[in-house]
Amino acid sequence: MTDDIDTAILVVVAIKFKQSVIFGVKMGRLRRMLLALVVCMVISTVLLLHYLGQSELPPSTTSSMLDFEETNEDTLPNVRLGYCHFPENIKLGSEGVPPSLRYKLKSVTTLIRHGNRLPMESTPPLGPLKHPNVSCELDIKDSYMPKQLADFIVKTNIKPTWTYETLRPQSPVCHSAGLTQLGVEQHLKTGGLLHQAYKKQLALTQLNVSVVSTTRSRTIQSAVAFVYGLLRGEVYYSSLAVDLAYTQEFCRHTKASQCSCTAAEIHRQRGEKRLREMRKTDRFFIEFDSSIHKSMGSRYSVKSYYPWKAALDMMVSRTCRKKALPCNKRYCFRVSQVNLIWQSMSHYFQHMSTDQDMLIAAKLEMYRFLKEIVLRLSDHSTRPSQLIPDKFTVYSGHDNTIIPLLIALELPVKQWPPFASRLIFELYEPPADVVRKEHVFKLVYNGKDVTRQLKFCVSSLGYLYHGCALKDLVNYVHNIVPNLGANSYAEACGSPRNVL
């Protein structure tokens, strides 16, 4: 009996043990299933957050912040259409249209800004920004004007004697501020348009075209492309002479010390200090700075550490090439930020053109250049047209050439001058039977006649609607130094003047 009971107990224990093992196995499977479910939920959550916050992740884990091929043209209308200056949007305006039907064009003096370029800084203070290698070799397969570009490539395949720079961009990897293919095509187009305006009136050939450029490769190559368009390819670059200027203000002295103007630098510093204070109250700048501050932390405050113009330059450069905006390890720029900083910069330039210290600085900085232009126009006015050696002169410069020149002429600067901007002085000869036999000039900025905005054109009002008497420009430039209370330019540069 006892043995039966023991056997029964053993059977019961064995059954319970088997059930426990089975239950344990089931519980293990359940735990593994729950764990797998949790892992799937975590992965799904991470993927969802990645998708929603993709622009906040580093570029190494994202494809790109923005592909401009997926946006429409209205996303950045002011920047892409107003500043980028795509060749298809460059149009002929008031160039070559005489102030009166019987006035004859005698000569043209043109200041151009270089074409589209890469950012000035490859590693700005915001932290290392990834700029993919960009080729500066011209590619007719990706060209707005393939036939012209192909011929241009052939004709510029020489080594000039007057500069160590190449005549066109041809490096496999562009350097900072290097001219891009877009920049070349902008000036091929601009030169071609001015060919239409001036070819017949001036009987343009390479012999009566003169070229002056600053020493930067982007301005030299822009000038070369511009002349190709102006002469419709009828140019021999082996014999093309380009005069080089060593400052953005086209100072011809070879020593930098001879081109400096202490008073101009002091007035510019005063004006820029006042403009920096103004920016602190500009709502577009405040919003832009706030967006950087929130995304990247206080140490990246634009007010303290990051040159705001460099920020716009960096973003706009990629915008104009229809590329994704740049990223660093933590952050990618947004389209909304491009628009904010563009609006802020437009306000900055508008205030700059009305600031009295900036006006004095601009007049002192551009005095020698204005004097050179005036001397050329005056000389042309005394010569018969057939004896003018340089009927068309082009100066290839920078935005920092055009802006102070506009301010020195007391014209408003409403926005950053677009790539390939042009400011043109046209000299006209009056017909023989007019009572007042005065040469007149027109001033045309990016196709728009701005002559009537020149405040010093006092003697022209009433008898010319579109022209300004040359003598008014001569008197204005001549009086710049005396109006600053100095007897000479050297004296005017010696110490700052009282605000006008």
Q: Please spell the DSSP secondary structure of 53-116, one letter per residue.
A: TGGGS-GGGSS-S--GGGS-TTSSHHHHHHTS--GGG----STT--SSTT-EEEEEEEEEE---
Q: What percent of the chain has pLDDT over 70?
A: 74
pLDDT at 334: 80
* Residue range 375-391, pLDDT digits in tens: 999 999 999 988 899 99
**193 vs 306, residue with greater confidence:** 193
Name the band, by pLDDT with cuts 50, 70 and 90, for residue 485.
Answer: very high
User: Among positive and negative, which fits the CA dihedral 52, 53, 59, 61?
Assistant: negative
| CA–CA dist 197, 391 (Å, integer) | 13
3.30.70.600, 3.40.50.1240, 3.40.50.300, 3.30.465.10: CATH of 90-258+356-494 = 3.40.50.1240
pLDDT at 46: 47
pLDDT at 63: 32
3-state SS, residue 394: strand
Q: Domain-by-domain residue ranges, the chain?
A: 2-52, 90-258+356-494, 264-352
Least confident of 7-16, 128-137, 197-206, 300-309: 7-16
pLDDT at 291: 78
Q: In this model, does residue 47 exceed pLDDT 90?
A: no
Q: What is the mean pLDDT of the chain?
A: 81
102 contacts: CB under 8 Å, gap ≥ 6? 430, 431, 434
| CA–CA dist 500, 395 (Å, integer) | 30
pLDDT at 385: 87
Least confident of 92-106, 338-352, 387-401, 440-454: 338-352
**2 vs 85, residue with greater confidence:** 85
pTM of the model: 0.82
Q: In this model, does residue 249 exceed pLDDT 50?
A: yes
Name the band, by pLDDT with cuts 50, 70 and 90, for residue 369.
Answer: very high
Least confident of 135-144, 361-370, 458-467: 458-467
Region 2-26: mean pLDDT is 44
Q: In this model, does residue 207 exceed pLDDT 90?
A: yes
| CA–CA dist 10, 101 (Å, integer) | 125
Q: In this model, does residue 209 exceed pLDDT 90?
A: yes
Chain Cα centroid distance, residue 302: 20
pLDDT at 301: 54
Query: Which of 16-25, 163-172, 397-406 has the largest mean confidence?
Result: 397-406
Q: In this model, does residue 196 exceed pLDDT 70?
A: yes
pLDDT at 282: 87
Structure tokens at 370: 């204005």
Least confident of 1-10, 31-40, 74-83, 421-430: 1-10
pLDDT at 210: 96
Backbone angles phi, psi at 441, to 5 degrees: -130, 160
pLDDT at 322: 79
pLDDT at 263: 95
**492 vs 35, residue with greater confidence:** 492
Q: In this model, does residue 445 exceed pLDDT 80?
A: yes
**315 vs 194, residue with greater confidence:** 194
Q: In this model, does residue 128 exceed pLDDT 90?
A: no
Q: In this model, does residue 18 exceed pLDDT 60?
A: no
| CA–CA dist 299, 293 (Å, integer) | 8
**428 vs 129, residue with greater confidence:** 428
pLDDT at 42: 54
Q: In this model, does residue 50 exceed pLDDT 60?
A: no
Q: How many CB atoms lie within 10 A of CB 166?
A: 18
Q: In this model, does residue 180 exceed pLDDT 60?
A: yes
Q: In this model, does residue 21 exceed pLDDT 50?
A: no
Q: In this model, does residue 193 exceed pLDDT 90?
A: yes
Region 455-476: mean pLDDT is 80
Q: In this model, does residue 11 exceed pLDDT 50?
A: no
Name the band, by pLDDT with cuts 50, 70 and 90, for residue 465.
Answer: low
Q: Could you list the beta-strand ranges (E) of 4-72.
A: none
**133 vs 160, residue with greater confidence:** 160
462 contacts: CB under 8 Å, gap ≥ 6? none
Which residue reads 């910069």 in tokens? Answer: 345
| CA–CA dist 391, 371 (Å, integer) | 18
pLDDT at 71: 36
| CA–CA dist 362, 349 (Å, integer) | 13
Question: How many residues in the chain?
Answer: 500
